[in-house]
Structure 1
Amino acid sequence: MRHPAASRGRGPAFAPSARGRCRRARGRGQDRRRTRPCFRVSRVSRLASRPSGTVQRPVPHAAFTPKWLVARAARRLGLPYLVRESPGCRQGGPTVPRTFTGRIALAAAAVATALVVTLTACGSEDESPAAKGKTPGGAGSGGTHTVKTAMGDVQVQNVPQRVVVLDTDSLDSAVTLGITPVGATTVADKAPFSAYLPADKLKGTKPVGAIAEPNLEAINALKPDLILSSKVRDEKSYKSLSAIAPTVFSESTGGPWRANFALHADALGKKTEAKQVVADYTAHVERVTEALGGPAKAAQTKVGFVRFVEGADTRLYLNDTFVGSLFKDLQVGRPANQDKDGFSVDVSPEQIDQADADVLFYSTYGDPKKAKETDITGGPLWKNIDAVKNDKAFKVDDNLWMLGIGYSGAGRILDTIEKNVASKP
């Protein structure tokens, strides 16, 4: 390192060593409390190769750290490095105080910690695993490919090996495509994962917090190479999640479940398998439609869905829902007040007659009594509904119909419809 003072004729061609300056300081009796190292700060930069060239990544540094110590710390950690003088260093000034050796010991620990934390986890936004397709601890196979997500383009391993899913639709997608996630959020205490999915397909899957509040520490501990969720569910955690592994978000969940499945299949490197899943589902729909008497008869049958919710009003589900999309696939008719765009309509116990339909499916979230199911289904308005009078009102599994969002869940629901409707004249 050439000493700037040399260009002004006031110093040696190269900066003297710290030890040499200390000795001269003691010899000249300078005030040690006011002395400073000639180079005040050293900085370490990571050299990360990209197709477009070499990018330098700054790493937080420790003040009063000599360059040789920073370089040695980087070498001992097995990290590529580049040592640079910090701008604004006061060259040609007072010499190094005697306490400098003590600072070296403290700075070494600080630099080593900063290097490990920064290079393996934090980093800058443009160098995050999500942006580059790199995985801190994962074992992705092969190269990477670009996935277009609700949060922008993300580089993902071609064949991810350690997948964490944070929503029920992404869990369904993974299992449907033959992948056992290493981690998944839970939906209930007694049955942590969706009960309709085969237990053997989730053997070894670790809980990573509740679906409403994923545990970032638990996720990071699993060293995933891909994280799947939705913007509507986990947007607030995206930055933290993408610092752990490439993170793929759909825009929302429920209604657009087919598009979400295609997104998940792309991220998982399972696009070919996904085509077969879609083909099998299409054949299943055609089978059930024929069992209902064919498209013409199915269209004349008004099918509705009611959900009793603890702590809220009863809901009639509309077309822009997972259940609504299945009814549309089967080409069944819908009650006029439910054949609308949107999610749901709330009704009070006194308005339950608005649930009138030829065939009615209903489920309950929470305690049936607290959700008013017990009172409503025992009242005269409910008993006057056509589906109830004709013994075509069926209580179904709320977990499946509300959270089984995906092709595996859809297949189970189609089976339920065929069993209960097609078998009755």
Structure 2
Amino acid sequence: MTTSIRRHGLAAGSLALAAAMTLTACGSSDSSSKSGSADASAGSGTHTVKTAMGEVEVPDAPKRVVVLDTAELDSAITLGVEPVGATHADATSGFLPYLPKDKVAGIKDVGEMMTPNLEAIAALKPDLILTSKVRHGAQYAELKKIAPTVMTETTGYPWKENFQLHADALGKKAEAGKVVAEYETHAKKVTDALGGKEKAAATEVNVVRFVEGADIRIYGKQNYISTILADVGLGRPAVTDKAKDGFSYDVSPEKIDLADADVVFHSTYGDPKKAKQTQTLDGALWKGMSAVKNDKVFAVEDQLWIQGIGYTAATKILDELQADLTK
């Protein structure tokens, strides 16, 4: 997921942490329904998890988990763990709406994804923090003082491997195996619904994202959504091979016809006008694409298709793929 990034300075982070630790030392506690003692898992065992920051000792069954990105939140919810705290994806939205409302209702918002509030995190007295090095590596020293912090190297494309690490940290490896098996069965059913592997492979699909403050992105093959398309066995147009680092091939509205394919899915991050969605979809180049003429263009939710990053999101995406591609 790509968002506007505003990072804490390390000095500011240290001050916030110091204040937080002072508060917790004085016996402050979270007033939410998920409040509990700092040693909620006291008496239970621990195990070692290999992370992007080295080996980390974590509780066997953590009770007060804080997650700092959308992938980690999806993983926790998927595995039946309701975090006590989580960040939100951007300044204008709360937790991603595709997640079950009853599972996120009691979660404390601890700030924007790239600028988590360390004092708020510490006040929750977590026994485990989940995030990634690419997001919060610069704050690892502060975070691990609050609770054992498990970081994957990055997010997005390696989401399946990251999910396994999250499951290990949460003590949910058995549950993770069931989730993966169900997903693989689901993906195969979608392939079958499309007419089988050969027909799916013959259907070339593009995913286009309109992003406020950036060029239009034609997604390549090294990102979250591409892995789901690959699991179904869908074809991808040659333009996807031009994607920088496999992630995306960025174009202006004047080159949007490069996104043409048998089927085009598109989403928007930010204001549609500022993201160039409005002018592009009203333009002659877009309207002249074969996918548009054949009524094979589908608008999808950015918060699900691009920002979600996990098995709960992927399951919903599979359902939407089947529904749209069998019309």
Normalising by the residue count of structure 1, what TM-score does the alignment of the two structures yield? 0.67
Q: Does 1:404 align with 2:305?
A: no
Task: For CA contacts below 8 A with separation 6 or more, give which structure has more relative contact order.
Answer: 2
**1:380 Cα deviation (Å)?**
1.1
CA contact (8 A) 2:90 2:113 kept: no
Of the three residues 260, 274, 284, the one matched with 1:356 is 260
Q: Does 1:228 align with 2:130?
A: yes
Of the three residues 305, 308, 320, the one matched with 1:416 is 320
The answer for the alignment partner of 1:10 in structure 2 is: none
Take 2:91 and 2:100, find their aligned partners in 1: how far apart are those partners? Answer: 18
5 Å-filtered alignment, 1:1-400, equals 137-140=38-41, 142-189=44-91, 191-339=93-241, 342-400=246-304
Provide Cα deviations, 1:272-325, integer angstroms capped at 9, x if missing partner. 000000000001101111111111000000000001111111011001100111
Q: Which amino acid is the alignment partner of residue 103 of structure 2? A: K
Take 1:404 and 1:304, find their aligned partners in 2: how far apart are those partners? Answer: 18
Q: What secondary structure does 1:403 align onto? A: coil
CA contact (8 A) 2:128 2:150 kept: yes
**1:189 Cα deviation (Å)?**
4.9
Q: Which amino acid is the alignment partner of residue 208 of structure 1? A: V
Q: Which amino acid is the alignment partner of residue 118 of structure 2? A: L
Q: How much is the aligned-residue C-alpha RMSD, in angstroms?
A: 1.7
CA contact (8 A) 1:288 1:418 kept: yes
Take 1:404 and 1:186, find their aligned partners in 2: how far apart are those partners? Answer: 11
Q: What secondary structure does 1:273 align onto? A: helix
Q: Which amino acid is the alignment partner of residue 145 of structure 2? A: A
Q: Which has the larger radius of gyration?
A: 1
Query: Residue 258 and residue 238 in structure 1: after superposition, are their counterparts in 2 closer, same or farther (change >3 A)?
Result: same
Task: Give 5+ residue unaligned stretches, structure 2.
Answer: 1-20, 27-36
**1:339 Cα deviation (Å)?**
4.0
**1:359 Cα deviation (Å)?**
0.5
The answer for the alignment partner of 1:91 in structure 2 is: none
**1:203 Cα deviation (Å)?**
2.4
Provide Cα deviations, 1:98-145, integer angstroms capped at 9, x if missing partner. xxxxxxxxxxxxxxxxxx97xx79xxxxxxxxxxxxxx9241251100
Take 1:367 and 1:359, find their aligned partners in 2: how far apart are those partners? Answer: 24
Take 1:138 and 1:298, find their aligned partners in 2: how far apart are those partners? Answer: 52
Task: Give 5+ residue unaligned stretches, structure 1.
Answer: 1-115, 122-135
Q: Which amino acid is the alignment partner of residue 409 of structure 1? A: A
The answer for the alignment partner of 1:125 in structure 2 is: none
Take 2:92 and 2:216, find their aligned partners in 1: how far apart are those partners? Answer: 25
Q: Size of the alignment, in residue pairs?
A: 293
**1:384 Cα deviation (Å)?**
1.4
Take 2:41 and 2:59, find their aligned partners in 1: how far apart are those partners? Answer: 6
Provide Cα deviations, 1:78-110, integer angstroms capped at 9, x if missing partner. xxxxxxxxxxxxxxxxxxxxxxxxxxxxxxxxx
CA contact (8 A) 1:167 1:185 kept: yes
Q: What secondary structure does 1:289 align onto? A: helix
Q: Which amino acid is the alignment partner of residue 139 of structure 1? A: A
The answer for the alignment partner of 2:18 in structure 1 is: none
Provide Cα deviations, 1:37-89, integer angstroms capped at 9, x if missing partner. xxxxxxxxxxxxxxxxxxxxxxxxxxxxxxxxxxxxxxxxxxxxxxxxxxxxx
**1:212 Cα deviation (Å)?**
1.2
CA contact (8 A) 1:138 1:162 kept: no
The answer for the alignment partner of 1:52 in structure 2 is: none
CA contact (8 A) 2:45 2:60 kept: yes
Query: Residue 204 and residue 161 in structure 1: after superposition, are their counterparts in 2 closer, same or farther (change >3 A)?
Result: same
**1:174 Cα deviation (Å)?**
0.2
Provide Cα deviations, 1:363-389, integer angstroms capped at 9, x if missing partner. 011111111111111111111111111
Take 1:293 and 1:421, find their aligned partners in 2: how far apart are those partners? Answer: 11
Take 2:41 and 2:259, find their aligned partners in 1: how far apart are those partners? Answer: 50
Q: Percent identity?
A: 59
- Runs of 4+ in structure 1 off by over 4 angstroms are none
Provide Cα deviations, 1:238-273, integer angstroms capped at 9, x if missing partner. 000000000000000000000000000000000000
Q: What secondary structure does 1:159 align onto? A: coil
